[in-house]
Amino acid sequence: MVDADAFNLWIRKLSSADEPKAALVCFPHAGGSANSYFQFARGFGEFDVYGVQYPGRQDRRREPFRDSIAELAADIAEQLDGWTDLPVVLLGNSMGALVGFEVAQRLEAAGRAPLSLFACGRVAPTLRKDEQTHLKSRDDFLREMVELGGMGSELLQDEEIIDIVLPPMQADYRIAEKYCSSPQARVAVPIHVHIGDVDPKVSEEEAAGWRRATTGEFSLDVHRGGHFFFTEGNGDGLTAAVRRSVEDALSTKA
């Protein structure tokens, strides 16, 4: 039986459909919150859309950060196991793509595999790049976040906000940059990868490595934009792809 209090702590509903075809669960980027998908969720009238709220930020800021992607995913999968009768689609951006992949493995092992996983803005899970962003000085770290598009430059002028947003961003970067999946780790769940054509964090070749993470269907699409392409006004292609994937999966099962 689902513990409603624990579920609502982790999983936040962002939009509802009168007769939902599926439940779309979105995993935030490093330092992000469930509400980072609020505008994106408004593009779906036929799904219930949820955002995952990681510990250590906003209303969960007093909770400890998790020490690894695997630990974070295990906690989330526990909340998602058996929580709905609707078909479930997972979508994650950047670090969220890794969390989504780990959650997909756990749900599949429990016999509750999602319809598909959408992995955005992230290199393949078996590819560990030599990145040490989480070890940078405070100013250098913040400068990189602004350049990447993860925060507005005006926030650099507000020390109070920096003190709030910096710790979860650094903690998330630490576990994301230390993560590397086993080459044997794969799912049967279809994986659809979407990246921006000027994303400094992932090339098309690096994204193509996701193909080895699934024994099922695979696709790779490149959109105009950077690391946060679908929040930069270029999200229609991703929204359409999610819709198309669900419709195809449901028609196959019918």
- Is 94 marked active-site? yes
Pick the catalytic residue from 15, 33, 36, 94: 94
Q: What residue type is assigned to position 24 of the chain? A: L
What is the phi/psi pair of residue 51, to 5°? Answer: -115, 140
How is residue 48 written in tokens?
């219930």
Angle of CA points 33, 37, 39, to nearest 5°: 135
- Under 8 Å between Cβ of 85 and 75: no
Q: How far apart are CA 29 and CA 17, in angstroms?
A: 25
Q: How far apart are CA 247 and CA 206, in angstroms?
A: 28
Q: Which helix (H) or strand (E) holds 90?
A: strand 88-93
- Under 8 Å between Cβ of 248 and 240: no
Give the bridge partners for 120, in sequence order. 93, 194
* Strand ranges across the sheet with 22-27: 11-15, 47-52, 22-27, 88-93, 116-120, 191-196, 218-223
Q: Which helix (H) or strand (E) holds 172?
A: helix 159-178
- Positions marked catalytic: 94
